Amino acid sequence: MQQRLVIFVAHNYDILPMKADSQNVTDYTNDNTIFMVWDFKDNLDVKDVFSKLCKLLINLNNSVNVRFPVSRASCVMGIGHDAWLRLDLPGPLPKELVNFTPIAGSKHRAVSTRGDLHFHIRADNTSICYDMASAITDVLSPVAVSTEEIHGFRYWDSRTILGFVDGTENPQGQDRELFSMVGDEDAAYKGGSYLFVQKYVHNLTSWKELSTEQQEKVIGRSKANDIEMADDVKPANSHIALANVGDDLKIVRDNMPFGNMSTNEMGTYFIAYASTFTTVQKMLNNMFIGSPAGNYDRILDFSTAKTGSLFFVPTFNMIDDFSA
């Protein structure tokens, strides 16, 4: 069977071009997304397959930018700490690339789960996403196992399944590059990004038992028109109050809702690109431990984190080196 050759990077020409050598972490949310997490099998030499994967990533990203220039399609690859060591990639490692440590609050827990490779596949066309995932699977399946595959979609005007607009606090324009990419503080990895992901499953039965006013107090915004509550009205344990850690500490979120009606597994795949993982860590501490301690994010009473993994997104120049 002929292999489909499709992995894409496309720019949002009307809004913001991405940095020439960086993977496409600054683009705005697409209509369709596939998230994949792969773990290498034990006791196998995986270096040759990884080299082949890097070649594939570069080749297909370039070709589809020509074939489908307005598809806004891309595939971003992140590499986990243990995989970085197993693949014998350059050292020292990116300064903040570690295995994510679980965060235990008084009631809720941010779990840590293994992840060797993460793929963020997105496009305005579902077929493109499907073919990208297929090409990756063909290469990786002999030496790795896919432990997570989430098919996300745009829900109305970028709302979560909970019914509220998501990503309102995202940086815009050139600030997206500033907050999502490593700078001179780690010169060897400049232009790369830290990638943190969590799969959240929502308890919609309990959520729907709340009135609209009660839901708005959980989030800290109005449901209909996405207006943030005034500081003297917004509850201290609302999601907005705790997840926003300051205008100088932002991340680029590309969250997507997902859902399976028959199993009632409805949720949000949280994905953050950041110039430093410290910012994400602060947000998570606020949410799960609380600020002050015990004042945890009320949204966690309706949303359970099932995964939690940290990756590093290298530049294309680094991927080219890895493919040699």
Output the pLDDT for position 233. 96
How many helices (DSSP H) and strands (DSSP E) are in the chain? 9, 12
- Please state the rounded mean pLDDT for residues 223-233: 96
Give CA torsion, residues 228, 230, 233, 234, to 10 deg: 40
Residue 15 has pLDDT above 90, yes or no: no
Please tell me the number of Cα atoms within 13 Å of 69 on its side-chain side: 4
Buried b (16+ CB within 10 A) or exposed e, 48-71: ebbeebbbbbbebbeebbeebeeb
Would you please indicate which residues are annotated as catalytic (active-site) residues?
166
Identify the bridge partners of residue 270 per DSSP, sorted by sequence position. Answer: 198
Output the pLDDT for position 20. 63
- Residue range 31-49, pLDDT digits in tens: 999 999 999 999 999 999 9
Output the pLDDT for position 161. 96
Q: How confident is the model at residue 19 (pLDDT cuts 50, 70, 90)?
A: low
- Please state the rounded mean pLDDT for residues 225-232: 96
Please report, rounded to a whole number, the percentage of residues in the chain having pLDDT higher than 70.
Answer: 94
Residue 6 has pLDDT above 50, yes or no: no
Output the pLDDT for position 261. 84
- Please state the rounded mean pLDDT for residues 145-167: 96
- Residue range 174-214, pLDDT digits in tens: 999 999 999 999 999 999 999 999 999 999 999 999 999 99
